[in-house]
Amino acid sequence: MAIQNYERDAALAELQEQGLTVRLHSAEKNTWHISDGGLYSGYVVSGDELIELKKAHKLNMPGIRSLV
């Protein structure tokens, strides 16, 4: 579990470095709201999805959009 938390936190930090806004959507469901500036725009993704995107080198807005 600690390894997953570390991988998730690394993915979240990478998104923030890209200038994206990252907010916790639901702690209970481990979901995050990722947006590129708009207050009401963005995507909700799980921590597991973020880890998978990072491993596939698709951790960016186009990669996140592809999940929808």
- Per-residue pLDDT tens for 1-52? 688 899 999 999 999 999 999 999 999 999 999 999 876 789 999 999 999 9
pLDDT at 26: 96
pLDDT at 62: 94
Residue 27 one-letter amino acid: A
Domain region containing 26: 2-65
CA distance 37 to 55: 25
Contacts of range 16-20, beta carbons closer than 8 Å, 24 or more positions apart: 18/60, 20/61
pLDDT at 68: 78
pTM check: above 0.85: yes
Give me the number of domains the chain comprises.
Answer: 1
**Is residue 67 over pLDDT 80?**
yes
CA distance 45 to 64: 8
Question: According to the 3-state scheme, what is the secondary structure of 17-54?
Answer: HCCCEEEEEECCCCEEEEECCCCCCCEEEEHHHHHHHH
